[in-house]
Structure 1
Amino acid sequence: MSVHQPVKKVTTHVLHAMKQRGEKISMLTAYDFSMARILDEAGIDVLLVGDSASNVMAGHETTLPITLDQIIYHAQSVVRGVDRSFVVVDLPFGCYQGDSKAALNSTIRIMKETGGHAVKLEGGSEISESISRILSAGVPVMGHLGLTPQSIYKFGTYSVRAKKEAEAKKLLEDAKLLEKLGCFAIVLEKIPAQLAKEVAQAVSIPIIGIGAGPDVDGQVLVVHDMLGMTKDFHPRFLRRYLNMYEMMKEATQRYIKDVKTQDFPNEKEQY
């Protein structure tokens, strides 16, 4: 009789080791149990319970409206579907900016109520106090630099960040600072590929890119975009692996037709 081997869990230590040996890290977002279960079984390394749920799950224009209670609900659902993947939970807008005590309290709620493994915060030196306070409580922190969607109204655009020398210099300094503070990884969003490469080489912690070129330690996409469940979003960095929007629409139309023509349910589909 074969003994069932326990599933090896991805941890911060595993992710660090992957960077050391040059193995790329795969990361996708997830917001519910069913999707998380599929992605986990497929072998994804990291699942991000992103504040992008505000867009793809709730239909908001930005990530700003999602609340701490809502992100906790999504994270609880995801964690129940996971055996192997490392689950990172976004701290929503307003839960950590300018108040490190609120940042810690928000994080404690996430960790206690969801069973998630880490939190992610957007920003560099300006949120260093919040990061330090969370880390002092023993909670792993993933950083997020470059295009930070929670600051959309400050930037006024979702275009590429850090093209100018001053912003690029600050981004590199912020990445080094986040490493020094104790972050276990950093997401770099929508920055020039060459700069992302420099950052990945300058720090020993994993750098996960989204629209940041190939020379980083891993990639992340919003799962709804990757599967083609969204149809109006066409950034250069996105590769759609399915056209789920059309597939689901067609399946629904077939179901409607079968109901209307009384083809469904047939004799085998009744009791």
Structure 2
Amino acid sequence: MSATNVIKSLTASDIRGMKGDTPIVCLTAYTTPVAEIADTACDLILVGDSVGMVLHGLPSTLGVTMDMMVMHAKAVARGTKRALIVVDMPFGSYEQSPEQAFENASRLMVETGCGAVKLEGGVDMAPTIAFLVKRGIPVMAHIGLTPQAVNTFGGYKVQGRGDDGDRLMADARAVDEAGAFSVVIEKVPASLGDKITAEISIPTVGIGAGAGCDGQVLVVDDMMGMFTNFKPKFVKRYATVRAEGERAVAEYAEEVRARTFPGPEHTFADEVKK
């Protein structure tokens, strides 16, 4: 491959430089084939701890482990050439101390080759973010509805309404000042997403935070229609993969039971034709 054909992977610095420019496109991915698809159009691929719910059938993200994140991030890395890979730090892997966070974040980067990590929290986690950034680990922050704290919030509720907007604005300022290169804002009023985006110096990536954010992220299984019984208000389904998969399986089962599959074109002869 000549030097002119080398595909340059985006970095955390590149993403930060997109502030106020072309909107940042982000999707989750947990497997090599999906990463290959996402990499064709996305600037950032998030290996989210949502993997616990969408691939492993867990009731929340709380049961996700470091080993699970490492395994799926390695798979995503095999299918990614251009997009920045960001890996979620799972619940319990960073909250205890900045030192604990560095140990686990450095493991993620060394073992997976990802370009950054993501952790949840604002003002309270700002010292940890600063600790990591000073030691060479790019950090994407996550404020608003933070799924790892869903039990504290009492469910997946909209955050930042009324006076609560001041809390989230403080969170946004704190992670910006701590050195995060971007911040996910989840499930807040669009007006608050706009306000935060205008005030802080780093890109905002919204999920249920309005079109005014510097970018958008969705869980790939949600936007592809893998689930029929779960559709948050902020999700648009761009495909119906679940329905198409069920159709294909039903057709396959019908042909197997009718003995029309495998047909001659799928069957090996006794002798090779000369």
TM bracket, shorter-chain basis: over 0.9
Determine if the alignment matches structure 1 residue 24 to structure 2 residue 48: no
1:207 aligns with 204
**Who is 2:215 aligned against?**
218
Matching of residues 1-271 of structure 1 within 5 Å: 5-20=5-20, 22-40=21-39, 42-165=40-163, 167-271=164-268
* Offset, 1:70: 0.6
Identity of aligned residues (%): 40
Instruction: Report the 3-state secondary structure (helix = DSSP H, G, I; strand = E; otherwise coil) of the residue aligned with 1:34.
Output: helix
Consecutive aligned runs of 4 or more in structure 1 exceeding 4 Å deviation: none
Task: Report the Cα offset of residue 43 of structure 1.
Answer: 1.7
Distance 2:263 2:11 in 1: 49
Spell out, residue by residue over 1:32-55, the C-alpha distance to the aligned partner (whole angstroms, 9 max, x if none).
111111111x22111000000010
Segments of structure 2 that go 5 or more residues without pairing to the other structure are 269-274
RMSD over aligned CA atoms reads 1.5
Query: Take 2:241 and 2:221, find their aligned partners in 1: how far apart are those partners?
Result: 9
CA distance in 2, matches of 1:137, 1:258: 59
Q: Is the 8 A contact 2:127 2:178 kept in 1?
A: no
Provide the TM-score with structure 2 as the length reference: 0.94
Considering only CA atoms, is the larger Rg found in Structure 1 or Structure 2? 2
For 1:112-147, what per-residue CA distance to the aligned partner results, in whole angstroms no more than 9, with x for missing partners? Answer: 111111000100111222212211220100000000
Q: Is the 8 A contact 1:19 1:217 kept in 2?
A: yes
Query: Contact 1:49–1:71 (CA<8 Å) still a contact in 2?
Result: yes
Letter of the 1:96 counterpart: Y
Provide the aligned length of Structure 1 versus Structure 2: 268
Other structure's SS at 2:63 match: coil
Cα distance in 2, alignment partners of residues 3 and 145 from structure 1: 40
Is residue 98–residue 127 contact of structure 1 (8 Å, CA) maintained in 2? Answer: no
Gaps of 5+ in 1: none
TM-score (norm 1): 0.95
